[in-house]
Amino acid sequence: MSLHIDAKPGDVAKTVLLPGDPLRAKFIAENFLEDARLINSVRNMFGFSGTYKGVPVTVQGTGMGMPSMGIYSAELIQFHGAENLIRIGTAGGLSEKLGLGDVVMALAASTDSNWASNYELGGQLAPTASWKLIKLAEKVAGELGIGLNAGNILTSDLFYEPNPDWWRKWQKLGILAVDMEAAALYMNAAYYGANALGIVTISDNFVTGEGVTIEERQESFTNMMEIALNIAVELK
């Protein structure tokens, strides 16, 4: 039983875009989808379904943090038949080579969370994206002429870290950026048998101190949206 998504049977497409911000979901529905309709409004975490280039697509907000992403991705897969889940969100850059608005594909998502301990593995799980979606993202980004950085990111439980230099040790290990959701998505997808990919846009940079406005976060990062939407077309 889906407790947080009240979509009806058949409302959810097999490919779902997952922005953290429900208003970004609304923006995508209004600006990219044809015949978009609201399929979920529980707790104002909006979800919409429509078509893009004739292909059914759903976009569902997930909120912030791994627990929230965990709820929505699990319900989408278990109760609504989602097969391909693509996170499209913002991230903080940990490399001086990443500028504001640059797009990063998360091949893997390291984390400081204790999430994987629930699987009782007796070791450490490396949450990774699905190779199928990685290949399609590279193909689509090339066709669209969008630069795509790829590598390991960090999914952190904390937005406000008590130590201002916390990120430097992760940076030394080659971590490109930090978000708060990708690792949960990757682990849920692995556990429930779905494909997952995180495509994030740099909204601030820990090295340079640059950042964007709230409005720019919601509406101006369209490159990652177009990549994800065109992946859905390839998966039709």
> Would you tell me how many other CB atoms lie within 10 Å of the CB of residue 10?
11
In one-letter notation, the amino acid at residue 125 is L
Burial call 114-123: b when 16+ CB within 10 Å, e when fewer: ebbeeeeeee
Of 21, 112, 157, 204, the catalytic one is 204
The Cα–Cα gap between 79 and 56 comes to 18
User: Which is it for strands 15-18 and 84-93: parallel, antiparallel or unpaired?
Assistant: parallel
Structure tokens at 67: 């627990």
The Cα–Cα gap between 51 and 68 comes to 26
Does residue 21 have an active-site annotation? no
Please give the positions annotated as active site: 204
